[in-house]
Chain A
Amino acid sequence: MPENLFKMNAKEYILPGSRSCQGCGLSLAYRFALKALRENTIVTLPASCLCVLHGLYPNTSVNIPCLNCTFASTAASASGIVAGLNALNKTDTTVVAFAGDGGSFDMGIQSLSGAAERGTDFIYVSYDNEGYMNTGTQRSSATPMGALTTTTPVLTKQQHKKDFLKIMEAHDLPYAATTSPSYPIDLYEKFVKAKRIKGTRFIHIHVPCPPGWSYPTKDTVRIGRLAVETGIVVLFEVENGKLRFTGRSRTLAEKGNKLPIITYIERQGRFKKMSIEQLSQFQKWVDSRWNEFLRRAAN
């Protein structure tokens, strides 16, 4: 593990001029992910924020080959790249699919489950900004309870976020991990590790989104950290079924000092209509998941 940011791969793969929003959590995460993946990589991605980040034809700010695909097809697109490269005996390239929560939790789940069940040799990255942000902040199954979106504009989202990692774990993957751009060394390390493993690897990135979540753009790193500090986002990795806390989450698990979720909630405009009851439900949901992680990590 690089002990600090200066020990990482110094090369930049996202050049100045990306079309991401100011304060975009995704652009931060993508920058460190590509540094870990390095040159011999092909990315495929669907209609999403990342598609916009890559730029408008004929220019692109990303110096990694990329194949755009349709919304529901990201993992199948990666499968096709892998199959094509295998057929041509080019087997040393890392194939990486990057899709948002809409393209993973919702519309892309079929092709992702198919590719994972086949054990396709690729890394699937779900960058989760908890809504259809590229389309204008509509609700997704990854939106947390109590959040305002443009399709839950009055009553807020009534359901908890889908526990997507559980679904992915059910595919018996050689490697699955959660990450946050607020902890870039942890994120970098997990991509380096994933790159070395064969089979379907899954990485979840929790990406704070200033316009979608309604907080000042300068606070992206802070919001991402608070998500981890409160146990809403848990940094861990699962290797061949064995769960291990990593980074800040490991410290929290050891010291038992996670913060109440209100410290995360109160900083974001999207939760301004959250009821006390929802807040309490959300806290219970977080505590129960956290305890489950503690149990699993202890085994």
Chain B
Amino acid sequence: MSDVQIITGNQAAAMAARLCNVQVVAAYPITPQSQLAEILSQYVESGSLRAEYVRVESEHSAMTVCISASTVGARVFTATSANGLLYMHEQLHWAAGSRLPIVMCVVNRGVGAPWSIFNDQQDSLSQRDTGWIQIHCRDNQEIMDSVIQAYRIAEQVYAPVMVCYDGFVLSHTMMPVHIPGANLVRSFLPPYKPHTILSPENPKNINPVLLPNPRMSAEGILCDGYMEMRYKLQKAMEDSREVIIKTSREFADAFGRDNGGMLWEYRTDDAEVILSAMGSVAAEAMAAVDQLRAEGIGAGVVGIRVFRPFPKEDVARAFRKAKAIILFEKSISYGYEGGLSSELKAAFYRTDIHAPVHDYIVGLGGRDVKARELVEAAKSSVEAIRSGTPEKHTSWLNCITE
């Protein structure tokens, strides 16, 4: 049973969290996430979600509450944006280091200073190395689907998952979304089984000080040092790729919608020009590709859905036939280029992909990104590559740079 409702991205996320029967919610409101925090309060106070809602005084505490509640065995949820996410930064590492299956929505927003409440992806991209799985959604349906999948992934690999979606562009925009039935979600998502339970019946000292080298326990068992624990987190993140793909496939079987696993493709079968992006820009790129094709350019889209673990094998396959690769990114790694550009180029190392990669920084701080602009950028890149100048410095689209 599923019904279709016309809802915002924040509503989709809140409904998904309720469908997943989260037991503890801790959130601090921040634009554009606020609506999500409000809807969940409504659910809890009206009794349609049986959960503890901790109205914390900061994002740092929001993530802390999630960490501790998850440690005692509860399924937890939180959401934030921009500076709220940055304020959590210490706790993001702590959550991943504790190997807790926390799911958080990141409603992407530009980072201050100066202040912007509007969308880009600088916030989540700058949390790349915290040990969190990052899923980027292209529309509100994918938000709903990804939150449900995120719990199943997190609770299998014992790593936290960020479900990222663009502020306002998705969070406040209404779209038709299939709402799955509660029984279907319940059968897809088994109850959470913690790896370690903090309980008086079996006293443990969780996350104490570790020494560099493995040490013997009182029972004579050699236990991990700090470095072994770090390796295990890395291994879990690498191995999570298979779990993400399998979860996406099983979700498609059960719910009838395929989000693509690590990435998704649009009209790429015969495409020589591949446009690539994450989140709502990737959806916009589909409209651009239709227009490019109408003008005779064989273009397609590869939407990068999962940024961590990075889909190395998947991009090597998806881009193998590309003659030109054009990226649109809503973040910048200051002093170099867009984060996706660096990652993709590294993934192409020692493959047969030698296509030029043109990187466009777009839509920072909410500047509108139109399909027409993507078309113009793609055409100028294709023209430059065809005329024998494949190299291009990172360009800032629709931005006064002189």
Where the two chains meet, the residues of A that have a C-beta atom closer than 8 Å to any C-beta of B are 39-42, 44, 51-52, 54-60, 62-70, 72-73, 75-81, 83-88, 90, 93, 110-111, 113-114, 117-118
Tell yes or no: B198 within 8 A of A by CB.
yes
**Contacts A65-B203, A68-B208 given: A81-B72 contact, CB under 8 Å?**
yes
CB interface residues, B 102-156, toward A, < 8 Å: none
In the bound complex, CA of A55 to CA of B55 (Å): 33
The complex places the Cα of A57 from the Cα of B60 at a distance, in Å, of 26
With A and B bound together, what is the CA distance between A70 and B202 in angstroms? 23
B61 touches A67 (CB 8 A): no
Residue in A52, A65, A83 whose CB lies within 8 Å of B52: A83
Contact B209 A118 (CB under 8 A): no
A77 to B198, CA, bound (A): 13
Residue B399 CB within 8 A of the other chain? no
Query: Does A84 lie within 8 Å of B60, measured CB to CB?
Result: no
Contact (Cβ within 8 A) B57 A117: yes
Q: Are the C-beta atoms of B52 and A87 separated by less than 8 Å? A: yes
The reply to whether the CB of B346 lies closer than 8 angstroms to some CB of chain A is no
Q: Chain A nearest CB: distance from B50 CB in Å?
A: 8
In the complex, which of the residues A63, A113, A118 contacts B55, with contact meaning CB atoms closer than 8 Å?
A118
Which residue of A is nearest B75, CB measured?
Answer: A87
Q: Would A83 and B203 count as touching, CB distance under 8 A? A: no
Q: Which of B54, B61, B205 contacts A66 (CB 8 A)?
A: B205
* Interface size band for B: 35 or more
Known: A58-B223, A84-B72. 8 other contacts (CB 8 A): A58-B215, A58-B221, A69-B68, A77-B64, A79-B65, A80-B69, A83-B74, A84-B69
Q: How far is the CA of A131 from the CA of B91 in the complex (A)?
A: 25
Are A65 and B60 interface neighbours, CB within 8 A?
Answer: no
| Cα separation A77 to B26 with both chains bound (whole Å) | 12
Partner of A56, one of B58, B60, B211: B211
Chain A positions within 8 Å of B70 at CB level:
80, 84
Inter-subunit contact B209/A80 (CB<8 Å): no
CB–CB B202/A65 < 8 A: yes
Asked whether A76 lies within 8 Å of B64 as measured between CB atoms, the reply is: yes
Question: Judging by beta carbons under 8 Å apart, are A73 and B217 in contact?
Answer: no
Interface CB pairs A-B, < 8 A, 9: A51-B209, A57-B208, A58-B215, A58-B217, A66-B206, A79-B54, A79-B65, A80-B68, A84-B69
Rounded to whole Å, the gap between the CB of A136 and the closest CB of chain B is 16
A55→B207 CA distance, assembly (Å) = 11
Q: Enumerate B8-29 residues with CB–CB distance to A below 8 Å.
A: 23-24, 26
Question: Taking the complex as formed, is B90 at the interface, i.e. its CB lies under 8 A from any CB of chain A?
Answer: yes
Q: Contact partner of B200 among A39, A52, A69, A86, CB < 8 A?
A: A39
A93 touches B200 (CB 8 A): yes
Decide if B61 touches A65 in the complex (CB within 8 Å).
no
Chain A residue contacts of B51, Cβ below 8 A: 87
* Complex A-B, nearest 4 residue pairs according to Cβ-Cβ distance, in ascending order: A80-B68, A114-B57, A84-B69, A76-B61
Tell me, rounded to whole Å, the shortest Cβ–Cβ distance linking A53 to chain B: 10
- Enumerate chain B residues within 8 angstroms of A41, measured Cβ to Cβ: 200
Given the known inter-chain contacts A56-B215, A88-B23, please indicate yes or no for A79 contacting B61, CB distance below 8 A.
yes
Task: Flag if A57 contacts B65 (CB, 8 Å).
Answer: no
B71 contacts chain A at the CB level, 8 A cutoff: yes
Establish whether residues B56 and A114, one from each chain, have CB atoms under 8 Å apart when the complex forms: yes
* Assembly CA distance A110 to B28 (angstroms): 14
A residues less than 8 Å from B71 (CB atoms): 67, 80-81, 84
Contacts of A52 in B (CB 8 A): 209
A118 to B55 alpha-carbon distance, docked (Å) = 8
Q: Assuming A57-B209, A63-B203, A84-B24, is B61 touching A114 (CB within 8 A)?
A: yes
Residues B58 and A111 in contact, CB atoms below 8 Å apart: yes
Contact between chains at B207 and A67 (CB < 8 Å): yes
B23 near A56 (CB under 8 angstroms)? Answer: no
B199: which A residues are within 8 A, CB to CB? Answer: 42, 65, 90
Query: In the complex, are the beta carbons of A67 and B198 less than 8 A apart?
Result: yes
Question: Least Cβ distance of B66 to chain A in Å?
Answer: 7
A83 nearest in chain B by CB position: B52
Is B204 located at the chain interface by the 8 A CB criterion? yes
Given A79-B68, A80-B54, A84-B68, CB of A54 within 8 Å of CB of B23: no
Q: A76-B64, A83-B69, A111-B58 are in contact. Are A70 and B91 (CB under 8 A)?
A: yes
